[in-house]
Protein backbone atom coordinates (compact mmCIF):
# COMPACT_ATOMS: atom_id res chain seq x y z
CA UNK A 1 0.00 0.00 0.00
CA UNK A 2 2.86 2.37 0.84
CA UNK A 3 4.49 1.65 -2.49
CA UNK A 4 1.30 2.55 -4.31
CA UNK A 5 1.05 5.84 -2.41
CA UNK A 6 4.70 6.64 -3.19
CA UNK A 7 4.23 5.87 -6.89
CA UNK A 8 1.15 8.08 -7.07
CA UNK A 9 2.94 10.90 -5.25
CA UNK A 10 5.91 10.64 -7.62
CA UNK A 11 3.58 10.77 -10.62
CA UNK A 12 1.82 13.87 -9.29
CA UNK A 13 5.15 15.58 -8.61
CA UNK A 14 6.62 14.59 -12.01
CA UNK A 15 3.69 15.95 -14.04
CA UNK A 16 4.73 19.64 -13.82
CA UNK A 17 8.31 18.70 -14.71
CA UNK A 18 7.16 16.83 -17.81
CA UNK A 19 5.04 19.78 -18.89
CA UNK A 20 7.93 22.19 -18.36
CA UNK A 21 10.15 19.89 -20.40
CA UNK A 22 7.58 19.90 -23.21
CA UNK A 23 7.24 23.69 -23.26
CA UNK A 24 10.92 24.55 -22.79
CA UNK A 25 13.07 21.64 -24.00
CA UNK A 26 16.82 21.69 -23.60
CA UNK A 27 19.39 20.92 -26.26
CA UNK A 28 20.84 18.04 -24.23
CA UNK A 29 17.41 16.53 -23.63
CA UNK A 30 16.53 16.47 -27.32
CA UNK A 31 19.97 15.24 -28.37
CA UNK A 32 19.42 12.24 -26.08
CA UNK A 33 16.02 11.48 -27.60
CA UNK A 34 16.78 11.87 -31.31
CA UNK A 35 18.72 9.28 -33.32
CA UNK A 36 21.31 9.96 -35.98
CA UNK A 37 19.98 8.52 -39.26
CA UNK A 38 23.52 7.58 -40.37
CA UNK A 39 25.08 5.82 -37.38
CA UNK A 40 21.96 4.82 -35.40
CA UNK A 41 23.08 6.34 -32.10
CA UNK A 42 21.57 9.29 -30.29
CA UNK A 43 22.74 12.72 -31.40
CA UNK A 44 24.63 13.27 -28.16
CA UNK A 45 26.83 10.26 -29.04
CA UNK A 46 27.22 10.89 -32.77
CA UNK A 47 29.90 12.85 -34.60
CA UNK A 48 28.41 12.35 -38.08
CA UNK A 49 27.95 15.44 -40.23
CA UNK A 50 24.17 14.95 -40.41
CA UNK A 51 24.08 14.75 -36.60
CA UNK A 52 25.90 18.08 -36.35
CA UNK A 53 23.36 19.61 -38.74
CA UNK A 54 20.49 18.16 -36.71
CA UNK A 55 22.00 19.62 -33.52
CA UNK A 56 22.15 23.06 -35.12
CA UNK A 57 18.54 22.65 -36.31
CA UNK A 58 17.42 21.73 -32.79
CA UNK A 59 19.26 24.74 -31.31
CA UNK A 60 17.56 27.07 -33.80
CA UNK A 61 14.13 25.58 -33.10
CA UNK A 62 14.61 25.92 -29.33
CA UNK A 63 15.69 29.53 -29.82
CA UNK A 64 12.54 30.10 -31.90
CA UNK A 65 10.42 28.92 -28.95
CA UNK A 66 9.20 25.64 -30.41
CA UNK A 67 7.99 22.91 -28.07
CA UNK A 68 9.63 19.52 -27.75
CA UNK A 69 6.78 17.85 -29.67
CA UNK A 70 6.99 20.37 -32.50
CA UNK A 71 10.73 19.85 -32.88
CA UNK A 72 10.42 16.05 -32.76
CA UNK A 73 7.52 16.11 -35.24
CA UNK A 74 9.55 18.27 -37.60
CA UNK A 75 12.53 15.90 -37.44
CA UNK A 76 10.27 12.86 -37.84
CA UNK A 77 8.66 14.37 -40.93
CA UNK A 78 12.10 14.95 -42.49
CA UNK A 79 13.79 11.67 -41.51
CA UNK A 80 10.94 9.31 -40.58
CA UNK A 81 9.77 8.09 -37.18
CA UNK A 82 12.92 5.96 -36.81
CA UNK A 83 14.77 9.17 -35.91
CA UNK A 84 12.98 9.20 -32.54
CA UNK A 85 14.76 7.17 -29.86
CA UNK A 86 11.47 6.12 -28.28
CA UNK A 87 8.60 4.96 -30.46
CA UNK A 88 5.52 7.20 -30.74
CA UNK A 89 2.69 6.37 -28.35
CA UNK A 90 0.06 5.69 -31.01
CA UNK A 91 -0.89 3.06 -33.53
CA UNK A 92 1.12 -0.15 -33.74
CA UNK A 93 4.01 1.47 -31.81
CA UNK A 94 1.76 1.63 -28.76
CA UNK A 95 2.55 -2.06 -28.29
CA UNK A 96 6.16 -1.17 -27.46
CA UNK A 97 4.85 0.83 -24.50
CA UNK A 98 2.06 -1.51 -23.38
CA UNK A 99 3.58 -4.98 -23.73
CA UNK A 100 6.16 -4.57 -20.93
CA UNK A 101 3.43 -3.33 -18.60
CA UNK A 102 1.13 -6.21 -19.53
CA UNK A 103 4.00 -8.67 -19.08
CA UNK A 104 4.69 -7.31 -15.59
CA UNK A 105 0.99 -7.35 -14.70
CA UNK A 106 0.86 -11.04 -15.62
CA UNK A 107 4.30 -12.10 -14.36
CA UNK A 108 4.13 -10.61 -10.86
CA UNK A 109 1.00 -12.54 -9.74
CA UNK A 110 2.23 -15.74 -11.43
CA UNK A 111 5.64 -15.57 -9.72
CA UNK A 112 3.95 -14.75 -6.41
CA UNK A 113 1.60 -17.71 -6.77
CA UNK A 114 4.46 -20.04 -7.72
CA UNK A 115 6.50 -18.87 -4.72
CA UNK A 116 3.51 -19.46 -2.45
CA UNK A 117 2.96 -22.95 -3.90
CA UNK A 118 6.65 -23.79 -3.51
CA UNK A 119 6.65 -22.69 0.12
CA UNK A 120 3.47 -24.69 0.86
CA UNK A 121 4.74 -27.88 -0.76
CA UNK A 122 7.84 -28.21 1.39
CA UNK A 123 8.08 -30.64 4.29
CA UNK A 124 8.08 -29.12 7.74
CA UNK A 125 11.53 -29.06 9.33
CA UNK A 126 12.34 -31.94 11.70
CA UNK A 127 11.42 -31.26 15.28
CA UNK A 128 14.66 -32.66 16.67
CA UNK A 129 12.90 -35.20 18.90
CA UNK A 130 14.13 -38.24 16.95
CA UNK A 131 16.68 -40.60 18.51
CA UNK A 132 19.70 -42.05 16.77
CA UNK A 133 19.96 -45.72 16.16
CA UNK A 134 21.63 -47.16 19.30
CA UNK A 135 24.33 -48.89 17.23
CA UNK A 136 25.07 -45.63 15.35
CA UNK A 137 25.12 -43.70 18.64
CA UNK A 138 27.66 -46.18 20.10
CA UNK A 139 29.81 -45.94 16.95
CA UNK A 140 29.82 -42.10 17.05
CA UNK A 141 30.76 -42.14 20.75
CA UNK A 142 33.64 -44.55 20.12
CA UNK A 143 34.94 -42.47 17.22
CA UNK A 144 34.75 -39.30 19.30
CA UNK A 145 36.62 -40.98 22.16
CA UNK A 146 39.28 -42.19 19.74
CA UNK A 147 39.59 -38.67 18.31
CA UNK A 148 39.90 -37.12 21.78
CA UNK A 149 42.63 -39.65 22.70
CA UNK A 150 44.83 -38.67 19.78
How far apart are alpha carbons 96 and 34 in whole angstroms? 17
Is the pLDDT higher at 24 or at 4?
24
Q: What is the 3-state secondary structure (H, E, C) of 114-134?
A: HHHHHHHCCCCCCCCCCCCCH
Is the pLDDT higher at 13 or at 75?
75
Distance of CA 117 to the CA centre of its chain: 27
pTM: 0.50
Assess whether pLDDT exceeds 60 at residue 131. Answer: yes
Distance of CA 104 to the CA centre of its chain: 11
42 forms beta bridges with: 35
CATH architecture assigned to 25-107? Orthogonal Bundle (1.10)
Assess whether pLDDT exceeds 60 at residue 106. Answer: yes
The winner for highest mean pLDDT among 67-71, 119-123, 130-134 is 67-71
Assess whether pLDDT exceeds 50 at residue 18. Answer: no
Mean pLDDT of all residues belonging to the chain = 82
pLDDT value, residue 129: 61
Return the domain boundaries, the chain: 25-107
3-state DSSP call for residue 38?
coil
Question: What mean pLDDT comes out for the span 106-123?
Answer: 88
Question: What mean pLDDT comes out for the span 115-127?
Answer: 78
pLDDT value, residue 110: 95
Question: What mean pLDDT comes out for the span 18-38?
Answer: 79
Question: What mean pLDDT comes out for the span 78-102?
Answer: 81
How far apart are alpha carbons 68 and 9 in whole angstroms? 25
Amino acid sequence: MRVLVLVCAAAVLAAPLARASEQHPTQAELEGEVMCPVCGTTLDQSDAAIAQNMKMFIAAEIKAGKTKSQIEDSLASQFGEAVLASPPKHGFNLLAWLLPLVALAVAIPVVGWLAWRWSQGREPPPTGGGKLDPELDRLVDSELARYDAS
